[in-house]
Chains A and B, each alone.
Chain A
């Protein structure tokens, strides 16, 4: 036999001033199972809570209704009081007599009637409350880092050094991201690979880091402390233990395809090493290019490999990982200037992107570090066109932060190594934060062989060939239509979120902005957060930034994870969840596709659906859809809701 206690809170003057409290108490007394009706000036105060606790014990209550302010304010508070007295905290129901009664209905009688109905509904509902117990689980301390660029590697190494198990998932066959492809890096003109190599080496050999190359995330479910991540590691078709990266296979391979690491500049074979210096130093086969995958019978690479490392029969591996936190460090891709045809890229051969310039100037790149026009001659006039596809509502609205600085860097390098070269920079404002950039700019601007030309608007230059000469056309600040001849035009395209991150965003149900960056840092003081607990963003995946910035974010996520995801931490699952009655479930399967959290699991052999209690958020959408009424949404069951509705209408 239930023993329900109903407590009316005066709430200072808020409730007592607007409602007839005696009438409320009287009608409350008539409720089924009600053995006690109490009143207090301010239940949420320390005295109020003490009174409540004492009273509950004194009257041996097993369920409590509180008529007071909105449950949003103090549901947690009063649940705490119940817990103190030994009652299950879910045996509480609050009637909102303030925000949705005393404060909104002016006429006293009407407000009192409303309050009576709300209390009756709460009393009817609480009779049907079950003693729910939160389930506990131990948080998984491991981390999945997606993307092995600067930010991802930094996070992985910093975490692993603190004994976290890290899974580093990288789409490409090598680590290092974009930076490993650069040579001299602003501002100190340090060699990127020299800086990165020892570091990447440590990472690749660290026991605590499992590097998954050629891998992408297929599915990601769960929440902080309890993620399951399914990844697919595409086959390399090369035995990683046996291969020494000698390159004999590539030399012999009959197929040539454009090399994505040296776009527009070089070709590679169907079996290949990614680029000189790529780590790990292993070959792989590209099934899109290889003859065998087109039904032809070629085993050239297998025949010439001195270490018997080729494995045509290798298969993709699908792996399920468990982690407590996810770091998205998928980096950036450059805007494709062919989408802005006025730049003539790639139709006009001597119009290249800054990335292609980097590869050209790289001593181990396709031209051995020599700057060359398409026809082989050395360019004596080079034009840098900034803000390509940037700062323009028609293309991308944002500024990509680093282009001005890397342009200065490239200029400095070119002027130092290629005598007799003149450089023109076509820009609309220069973004040069920090001292080094300003110093460099000052040095450059004073040179007679350098010209900084200001256009009236960003992303407004045009490039074409006129009488066999390459011409950059623009409007200057005075709106005069001008043009300059160059031998080589280098475009600085916008940085966008990596193209591949779209699939990841879908798997995570995360938003990406128009430029493809993850929506990170929406809250002012949380630059690496996504609003999803346990999912963090580091580096250019969240927005254009420079190398120190990406490194800093790699460390920032490490700090967050160290602080928020403590090994051995016990987490509690909210018991408000869906539960399937196996005796009622008919296996119609109509609920399964509804769950956005993947919490409904289909048992193919039993032909029943069950709820994964770790993933379920208790929204109840499945419960409302089940035509058998086989799904109960705990704490929001049909009986509870029905009893509320009936009592609200019939007092």
Chain B
């Protein structure tokens, strides 16, 4: 059952070269982006430390999104592959910690992919609306 009036709070780590540019492009095209999304710019999705993800959940995020360049197109060659491995391991431990693994999403958004950025973020909102807030107050 989707809680359509619940606006999930999402921390998005966006890589400067592709994803952040894609997000800007979405803005330039005036696409609608979920108002609960809060972005943090990093140079590479490979910069995102597992601790940053855990910190975000500990601080109240309902979901964490990591967006990077497509595999094979990482500005730093394969930083995004490191991100992928970390995310899989994180999802493995999140399960035991009572956080649904779907709350952590890793996706690839190229610099010009404005619509994709809007779609990925909208999809995440839907997932989180179905799961509900991470904590009920």
* Partner-B contacts on A (CB < 8 A): 70-72, 96, 98-101, 103-107, 110-111, 113-114, 117-118, 121, 509, 576, 594, 596, 617-621, 623-625, 633, 636, 638, 641-642, 644-646, 648-650
Within 8 A of A (CB), among B18-53: 20-21, 23-24, 26-28, 30-33, 35, 38-44, 46-52
In the A-B complex, the 8 residue pairs with the smallest Cβ-Cβ separation, listed nearest first, are A99-B27, A620-B47, A621-B46, A104-B33, A110-B35, A103-B27, A619-B76, A648-B38
Contacts of A641 in B (CB 8 A): 40, 42, 49, 52
- Do residues A638 and B56 form an inter-chain contact, with CB atoms below 8 A? no
Chain A residue with minimal CB distance to B82? A621
* B59 and A619 contacting across the interface, CB-CB below 8 Å: no
- What does DSSP make chain A's interface, helix, strand, loop or mixed? helix
B116 CB to nearest chain A CB (Å): 14
10 A-B residue pairs with CB within 8 Å:
A71-B41, A99-B28, A100-B27, A104-B30, A620-B47, A621-B47, A625-B82, A638-B51, A648-B11, A649-B59
A107 and B35 in contact, given A70-B24, A98-B27, A594-B82 (Cβ under 8 angstroms): yes
Q: Which of B74-103 contact A (CB under 8 A)?
A: 75-79, 82, 86
Contact between A619 and B47 (Cβ–Cβ < 8 Å)? yes
Q: Indicate if the CB atoms of B55 and A642 lie closer than 8 Å.
A: yes
Given that A620-B47, A624-B47 are known contacts, is A650 also in contact with B60, CB under 8 Å in the complex?
A: yes
In the complex, which of the residues B7, B23, B56, B82 contacts A624, with contact meaning CB atoms closer than 8 Å? B82
Complex Cα spacing A71 to B11, Å: 19
Shortest Cβ gap from A300 to chain B (Å)? 51
In the complex, A525 Cα to B50 Cα: how many Å?
A: 43
Please determine whether B11 and A645 come into contact, CB atoms closer than 8 angstroms.
yes
Given A620-B43, A621-B44, are A117 and B38 neighbors across the interface (CB < 8 Å)?
yes
Residue of A nearest to B27 (CB): A99
Given A618-B43, A648-B11, output 12 extra A-B contacts at Cβ < 8 Å.
A104-B30, A110-B35, A111-B35, A617-B76, A621-B76, A621-B79, A624-B47, A624-B86, A645-B56, A646-B55, A649-B11, A649-B61
Contact of B59 among A113, A633, A645 (CB under 8 A): A645
A649 close to B40 (CB less than 8 A): no
Most buried by A among B23, B26, B38, B78: B38
Pair B52/A642 contact, Cβ less than 8 Å: yes
Residues of chain A lying within 8 A (CB to CB) of residue B51: 638
**B28 CB contacts on chain A under 8 angstroms:** 99, 103
Partner of B38, one of A111, A114, A625, A636: A114
Q: Which residues of A lie under 8 Å from residue B75 when comparing CB positions? A: 619
Determine the chain B residues whose CB is within 8 A of the CB of A596 once the complex forms.
Answer: 76-78
CB distance from A600 to the nearest CB of B (A): 13
Contacting pair B42 A100 (CB below 8 A) = no
Considering the chains assembled together, what is the distance between the CA atoms of A70 and B31 in angstroms? Answer: 16
- Residues on A with C-beta less than 8 A from B30 are 103-104
For the complex, give the distance between the alpha carbons of A105 and B86 in Å.
31
Q: How far is the CA of A121 from the CA of B38 in the complex (A)?
A: 10
For the complex, give the distance between the alpha carbons of A99 and B22 in Å: 10
Residue of A nearest to B42 (CB): A636
- A106 lies within 8 A of B55 (CB): no
B23 touches A619 (CB 8 A): no
